[in-house]
Amino acid sequence: MRFVRTAIPDVVRVEPDVHRDGRGWFVETWSAERYRAGGVDATFVQDNRSRSVRGTLRGLHAQRRRPQGKLVQVVLGEIFDVAVDLRPGSPTYGRHVAEHLRAETAHQLWIPEGFAHGFVVLSDVAEVEYKVTAPWDPADEVRIRWDDPDLAVAWPVASPSLSPKDAAAPTLRDAGYPPP
């Protein structure tokens, strides 16, 4: 198992060992002790799963008072996953990292508290599971426009399918965050 720091070092790509043979495969997707040793020290309180079709973009979402850390993995298909640093005073504030996550590699992305998160589906269908460190609180949720020019995320889609809430999301500035 490898823990690979991204361009924002607190965001970690986890590359579990996949044990394959003629019967199929086995992968360990969470071990508190092993992940803690790799730099992912989290207490999870909820697991979530979504299923989406090609071109669906979910995000960018965060919570202000009760931020969620997320351990994201794809169990079917492929996504382009994005984490935006919203931590006040962080040297990487306003910057983002993006990773392609595919079911066949079993890679995961650890996104700590204080980040906005979103993804777009690149395969016909994708199922995404993620563990979170705080429950979802709709009153605390903040949405940020997926194509905010201040964030300059190079999404691999031009016209994604968005929920009405995501389509109406404000820019980072309009959501009350200082410009990067």
Q: List residues with catalytic annotation.
A: 61, 130
Residues 6+ apart with CB under 8 A from 166: 57, 58, 59, 143, 146
Question: Apex CA 36: angle with CA 49 and CA 114, to 5°?
Answer: 60
The CA distance from 77 to 53, in Å, is: 10
Q: Are 71 and 161 in contact (CB under 8 A)?
A: no
